[in-house]
Structure 1
Amino acid sequence: MTESRPGDTFQPGDLVNNTYRIEAILGRGGTSDVYKARSEISGRLVALKMLKSEFSGNEDYLTLLTREEEIREIRHDAVVRYSENHRTEDGHVYLLMDYVEGPGLDRKLKQGPMAAGDLLTVCRRVASGLQAAHARGIVHRDLSPDNIILRGGDPAEAVIIDFGIAKDTNPGAQTIVGNEFAGKYAYAAPEQLSGKTDARSDVYSLGALLLANFRGAAPKLGKSPMEVLQRKGERLDTEGVPEPLKTLIDRMCDPDPERRMQSAAEVLAFLDAPEPGGAAAGDTADDEATVIAPAVQAPRPQGVPESKAAPAPEPGKSRGGLIAAVLALILVGGGAGGYVAGLFDGLLGPAYPVAEPYVLVAQKTGGTVEMVGNAPSEEVRDALSEIASGAAELTLASGAIAESWGADVLATLQPLDALEEWRLSVKGNRGKLSGTTTDRAVQERLAEQFDGQLPGALEGTVEIAFREMFLPAEALRPILAAQADCGALTLADPPATGYGPETPVTVTGRVAGTATRVTLFDALRARAGDRKLVLDVEVLNPTLCLIESHLPRAPANGIGVGFHVGETGAPNPSGRFFVGENPVIDVTLPEDVTDGFLTVSILDVSGNVFHLLPNINRPDNAVAALRDGADGPVAVRVAFSLAEAAESGGLAFKVDDSTLGKSKVVVLHSSAPLFDGLRPTSESAVGYAEALQAHAQGNDGAILSLDSRILVTAAKP
C-alpha cells in the first residue's frame, strides 16, 4: 500500500461527496491518483480514480476520463468494472471502479520469476478479458504488469485495470491527450511507436509482460532513442523459456503484426491445443523439406547492388548450373571476406553496421527541429544535422534502402522551413510526412510540389494541412448543429475576429448522452486543432431532452433542491440513490421569495411526471402558506421518508429497477396558479409540458423562475 502524503488531495478518513470514506491511497500517476474507499451507504469497497487538480478544468482530460467511464459496458470478470464520473463540491473529478484486492503483476515482477504454469493461467484469463474488450472495439494500448491484478493472489483471478488511454478501433479514433504514442515503451508493440494500434498490439504487450514476469525482470530497451527503435524491431529473447510458453510468446510477440497472433481468440485457441515449436503465424514450412541455413552476410555498402539468389534447378535438369552457382558463391564469399577485413575501403567506401529496421524520425515542434535514427553516409548525416541545428542523434548504418535514400530524405525536408510544425517518419523506403501551416500560399505550394507523395524512391504519403491563424466561429457552428440532440448548442462569447491559437473555444448547452459529448469533442478537435476546448454542456438523456424542449423559458432564481437518505436522514449531496433506497427531497426558498406559488415535479427517465407540489394530499402551494410566517430561507419538504409519509400522508417513494438513470426535479415559481385545478399525481411528461405551453400562451410572464436539479437512480453496486 502506498503511504499517504500531506499534499495528497484526500487523506485517510476523508468523506468524499458524503458517500465514500477514504481508507488509503493505492497509487499515484501522471494525471490521476487512485484511492481505496468504502461506501458509507452500501459498505462496498471501491477504487476512486481522482483526476489531479491541475487537469480538472482541462476538457481533454475530462473527455479521456469520460471515455474510460464508457468502458463499463464491457462485462467480463477479467476486466475491472467501472461505475461513472462524479465531481466534488470543490471541483475535483473522479471515476469510480471496483476495488480489486490482490498483488499486481508489477509487485510479482519485483519479487522474482513466476512459474510458467501460473503465467499460462494468467494468459488465459487476461486473453479472455481482452477478447471481450476487443469485441466492443476497445484496445487497451497500455497493457503492462502494473495494469494486471491477481485477485486474492490467484493467477486464475487476474483482472485488467486502467483503461485510461484505451482507444476505440473506429476509423479516425484518436487518443484524446495527444495523437502520438501513449503507453509504456517496455511492453508496447513496435507499431505503437509510430502511432499504429489495434488488437494485435494488446496481444504483443501481453506476451511481453508474460516474458518479463517469467524472467523476473523488465525488458531492457537501451540507453538512447535509437537503441529503443532498433530493439523494438527485434524478436524477444525467449531462450530458456519452457514449452509451450516459449512458442506462445514467440508467436504473440513477432515484431511484424502480420506474422503475429492476430487476436486474443487465437491466443486462447493455442492454449487449448498447444503446438510447441510450431510454425509462426503466416509460415507454411513443409516438415519434410530440406532447409539450408544461409551464411551470415557482411554489411553491404551504399551503392553496391544486392546480389540475387540463383533460381533452383528444375527437376530432371543438369546440376551443372548449380555447381557453377556454388563456385560463384565461393568467389563472392572471398570478396566478402576481403570487404569485412577493410581491404576494399578505398574502392567501396567505409563499411557501416547493418540496421534492421532502418529508421529515421524527424519533427519540428515549437520552432525546434529534432531527429533520431540512421544515416547512410557522413555527408547525409551532416546535412540532416544542419537542418536540425545540431539537435540530431543519428547513427551511420547500411541497410535495405534505395541508393537515393539520403538524397530523397533531404529533398523531403529542405522545403519545410515555412511550416510551423511537421513530422517525417521513415522505415526502410516507406514513410509519411505530415505538417501544418497558417499560410494558405505555403500549403498550396507544398501540396503542388509533393503532389501527395514522398519524392524519389521513397514510398508514402504527404499531408500538409492549412490551419487558420484565426478560426471563424462560423466554421464551428455547423458542427454544433450536427451534434445538437437536446436543444441548441452555442458558442459562448465567440470573438468577432475568430479564435486565435491561444483562445479557448467554449460550448454551452445540453446533450442527450455521453456518446454525443465525446463525438462533439472529437469533431471540434478535428476542426479547431490544438486550441483549448471547454465543453460546458449538461449530459441528460433522450427523455429529459424531449421534456426540455417543451419546458417554459424562465430564469433561475436560486431556489435550492436538496436530497437526504430516508432511512438515515443523512444528507446526500451527490443526488445519487440506489435501488431500494428512499430519496427525501427538500426545496429551499430564498429569503426574497415571499409570495406567488410553487410547483414542484419530478420528470423521470421513463417519460413520466410525478407532481410533488401541489397534489391531492397537499393542494395548497402558495408561498405564503409554505412559509407559515417564517422569515429568511425556508426549507419545504416535498418528498418524504417512508416513516414520515406513514404519519402525515405525504408523498414518498423508493427506487426500483424500472426507471434507472437521470431524473430531473423541476421547481417553477409563478405569480398565479399554473392550472385550473390539480393535475393528476402522475402523467406523461409530454402531456404536462404541452399543458405548460398552453398555459403560457395566455399568461405571458406568469412563470417567474425555473430551478432544477438532477437526481440519479442506479442499480446497487
Structure 2
Amino acid sequence: MSSELPPDDLEAIATCFAALWQALSRSGAEPRTPAETRLLADRVRDALDRRLDRLDAVEPGFIANSFALEAMVHEGALTQIHRLRHRDLGTRHALKTLRPDQADNVVARDLLLREAGFGARLRHRHVAAATAALRLADGRPALLMDWLPSSLSERMRKASFRRDEVAGIAAALLSGLEAVHAAGLVHADLAPDNLLYDGKDLATLRIADFGIALEAGRRHGDVDLAKAGRDGFSAPEQQAGEPLDGRADLYACGRILRLLLEDRADPPQAEEPLRKLAGQLACLDRDERPSSAGIALAMLHGIQKAS
C-alpha cells in the first residue's frame, strides 16, 4: 500500500497551510511582530503534538500525567506558583507558570523559558533552580522545581538570629552565588523572600527565583525589562540600568546580612566582623566590593576561624 497522500489531499492541506500562515503572520492588514508569530506558531505546534482539534482544548487530570495540583501558594503580576504532589512517589514539588491571563504575554513567556534554560546550567546544594520544563494542557510553559516551604523573610518575622546562624546564612548564600556566577549568570533579585529552606534547618537555605536573572555583562533593558529588581536590595548600577556582573548580587547579599544583624540574639560586640563584611559587600561603589563571591566567602571563613 502506498504511503503517499493523494494529490487532492495534498492540495487541500497546502491551501489550509497557506491560510494558517497568513493568520499567524498577519493581523488583518498589519504584519505581526516576529515574537507574536513565534508565540502563535508555538501554540499551534503544541496542539498538534497533543493531537487536539481545538487550540483552547484543555486536558483534565494530572499535570504531565504525573503531578496532582494541591494548591496555588503564590500569585504575582505575571506568574503563579503551585504546590504539586507526584501521583506515584508522593513527593512534593513546586510549579511556576504564567497566570492564565498572561498566557499570550510574549515578554513574560520568554522570561520563563529563559529561566528554564538557566536552570539547566545550575546544579548546587544552595541553588533552587528549575529542574525541568513542562507544557501545561492549555499551552502555558511551566517550570518544575524542588518544594521548599519556608523563606528567610518568614523566619525573620519569627525570631532574631544568633551570630552562628547569620554566619551560616552568609556562607550558604555566598556559596550559592559562587556557583551562579561560575555559570556566567547574575541573579539580580536577591532578597529574603527569594531565599528558601526546608522550614527546619537554615543550612538547607537555597537561592530561588531566577525570573529576572541575566547573563553577566547584560542589562535588563536587553530583555525588554525597563526596571527590574527591588528597592532596598538592588545595587546602584542595577537601578541605573547598567550592565551587571556578580558584584550586583554581592551588594544584595550585604544588604540582607545587615538586616539579619539589626535584631540580634547575641551581644553586639560579637557581631562586629560580620557587620564589617556586610558593609564591604553593600558598598555603593561596585569597585570597592569584593571582586567575586569566592573572595567574599574566603573573607567569611577568615572571620569564622578568628572567632
Partner of 2:195: 148
Aligned partners of 2:286, 2:278: CA distance in 1, in Å?
A: 14
- Tell whether 2:122 aligns with 1:93: no
Residue aligning to 2:78: 31
> How many angstroms does 1:165 deviate by?
0.4
**Is 1:104 matched with 2:151?**
yes
1:47 pairs, out of 84, 90, 94, with 94
Superimposed CA distance per residue, residues 361-399 of structure 1 (whole angstroms, 9 cap, x where no aligned partner):
xxxxxxxxxxxxxxxxxxxxxxxxxxxxxxxxxxxxxxx
| 1:53-101 C-alpha deviation (Å, 9 max, x unpaired) | 2221122111111111012221101001412332222233321111124
Report the equivalent of 1:266: 295
> How far apart, CA to CA, are the structure 2 residues paired with 1:260 and 1:15?
48
The counterpart of 1:195, out of the listed 219, 241, 244, is 241
Larger relative helix fraction:
2
Deviations 1:374-431 (A, max 9, x none): xxxxxxxxxxxxxxxxxxxxxxxxxxxxxxxxxxxxxxxxxxxxxxxxxxxxxxxxxx
Secondary structure of 1:24's partner?
strand
| Structure 2 counterpart SS, 1:35 | strand
Q: 1:193 to 1:140 in 2, by over 3 A?
A: same
The TM-score normalised by the length of structure 1 is 0.32
| Corresponding residue of 2:132 | 84
For residue 47 of structure 2, what is the aligned residue in structure 1? none
Shift of 1:42: 3.9
Deviation per residue, 1:580-602 (Å, 9 max, x gap): xxxxxxxxxxxxxxxxxxxxxxx
- Inter-partner Cα distance in structure 2 for 1:150 and 1:84: 20
Aligned to 2:170: 123
Distance of 2:85 and 2:182 partners within structure 1: 32
Q: CA deviation at 1:25?
A: 2.4
Q: Count matched residues.
A: 241
Write 1 or 2 for the structure with the bigger share of strand.
1
**CA distance change for structure 1 residues 240 and 183 in 2, over 3 Å: closer, same or farther?**
farther
Counterpart contact for 1:251–1:261, Cα < 8 Å:
yes
**Does the 8 Å contact 2:84/2:95 carry over to 1?**
yes
Matches of 2:163 and 2:288, distance apart in 1: 24
Partner of 1:528: none
Q: Which residue of 2 aligns with 1:496?
A: none
Inter-partner Cα distance in structure 2 for 1:91 and 1:160: 28
Alignment of 1:250 with 2:250, yes or no, is: no
CA distance in 2: counterparts of 1:96 and 1:89, whole angstroms: 15
Q: CA deviation at 1:206?
A: 0.9
Q: Does residue 162 in structure 1 map to residue 209 in structure 2?
A: yes
- Structure 1 SS opposite 2:223: coil
Change (3 A) 1:62 1:216: farther
Q: Which residue of 1 aligns with 2:3?
A: none
Q: Distance in 2 between matches of 1:109 and 1:135?
A: 29
In 1, distance between residues paired with 2:75 and 2:172?
26
Shift of 1:41: 4.1
2-side partners of 1:191 and 1:275: how far apart?
A: 31
Tell me the CA shift for residue 216 of structure 1.
4.8
Deviation readout 1:1-20 (Å, 9 max, x if unpaired): xxxxxxxxxxxx97324321
Aligned counterparts, 1:317-396, within 5 A: none
Kept in 2, the 8 Å contact 1:188–1:205? The answer is yes
Identity between Structure 1 and Structure 2 (%) = 30
Cα deviation, 1:474-525, whole Å, max 9, x if unaligned, reads: xxxxxxxxxxxxxxxxxxxxxxxxxxxxxxxxxxxxxxxxxxxxxxxxxxxx
Preserved CA contact (<8 Å) 2:220 2:228: no
- 8 Å Cα contact 1:166-1:175 kept in structure 2: no
- Which string of whole-angstrom CA distances, capped at 9 and with x for unpartnered residues, describes residues 514-546 of structure 1? xxxxxxxxxxxxxxxxxxxxxxxxxxxxxxxxx
Query: Equivalent residue of 1:244, what SS?
Result: helix
Q: TM-score normalized by structure 2?
A: 0.72
Q: Is the 8 A contact 1:109 1:216 kept in 2?
A: no
In the other structure, the counterpart of 1:113 is 160
Flag structure 1 segments of 5+ consecutive residues without an equivalent: 1-12, 218-238, 277-717
Q: For residue 32 of structure 2, what is the aligned residue in structure 1?
A: none
- State how 1:511-660 maps to structure 2 within 5 Å: none
Deviation at 1:240, TM superposition (A): 7.2
* Distance in 1, Cα, partners of 2:145 & 2:224: 22
Q: Which residue of 2 aligns with 1:181?
A: 227
Query: Compared with structure 1, are the counterparts of its residues 213 and 66 closer, same or farther at alpha carbon in structure 2 (3 Å cutoff)?
Result: same
Higher relative contact order (CA 8 A, sep 6+): 2
The alpha-carbon deviation at position 160 of structure 1 amounts to: 0.7
Deviation at 1:164, TM superposition (A): 0.5
How far does residue 108 in structure 1 lie from its aligned partner after superposition?
1.5
Q: How far 1:203 moved relative to its partner?
A: 0.5
What amino acid is the match of 1:176? Answer: V
- Give the conservation status (yes or no) of the 8 Å contact 1:148–1:158: yes
RMSD: 2.5
Per the TM alignment, residue 39 of structure 1 is displaced from its structure 2 partner at its CA by: 1.8
Q: Which runs of 5+ in 2 are unaligned?
A: 1-59
Aligned to 1:506: none
Corresponding residue for residue 19 of structure 1: 66
The 8 Å contact of residues 217 and 245 in structure 2, kept in 1 or not, is answered as no
Q: Give the Å deviation of 1:174.
A: 4.9
CA distance in 2, matches of 1:35, 1:268: 34
| 1:171 to partner: Cα distance | 5.3
Q: Are 1:111 and 1:216, in contact at CA under 8 Å, matched by a contact in 2?
A: no
CA contact (8 A) 1:64 1:164 kept: yes
Tell me which amino acid in the other structure corresponds to 1:145.
Answer: P
Q: Distance in 2 between matches of 1:202 and 1:265?
A: 13
Aligned equivalent of 1:59, options 92, 106, 116 = 106
Change (3 A) 1:201 1:170: closer
Cα pair 2:221 2:241 within 8 Å, conserved: no
